[in-house]
Amino acid sequence: MTNKIDSVIYTGVTSNLQKRIYEHKNKMVEGFTSKYNITKLVYFEMFDSIEGAILREKQIKAGSRKKKIELIKSMNPGFVDLYDKL
């Protein structure tokens, strides 16, 4: 996820993506996402197991900002909000 001007990238894991994005968009979650106005879903991956999802989250978080931007652009070159496409 990112903010309106794509200046901050947030990576997380959830078992209910639509609900979690709704919570971020409506500032129902205190902390990093609300502080930096993280409301735009620009990339996501789906997994069959929480273990696989957590492993992937750790891989993404360990990467550089440049790598994260490349990953997002591979699926969503315009950084459009994907929330309505879920």
- pLDDT, tens digit, 9 for 90 and up, residues 4-20: 999 999 999 999 999 99
pLDDT of residue 29 exceeding 90, the answer is: no
Q: What is the pLDDT of residue 20?
A: 96
Residue 67 in any domain: the answer is yes
Residue 38 has, within 13 A of its CA and on its CB side, a CA count of 23
Residue 24 in any domain: the answer is yes
Q: What is the pLDDT of residue 77?
A: 97
Domain that holds residue 31: 17-85
- Find the mean pLDDT for residues 26-35: 93
Residue 39 in any domain: the answer is yes
CB 53 within 8 A of CB 47: yes
- Find the mean pLDDT for residues 64-86: 96
pTM above 0.95, yes or no: no
Number of domains in the chain: 1
Q: What are phi and psi of 80, to 5 degrees?
A: -75, 155
Residue 9 in any domain: the answer is no
Q: Tokens in use for 86?
A: 């879920």
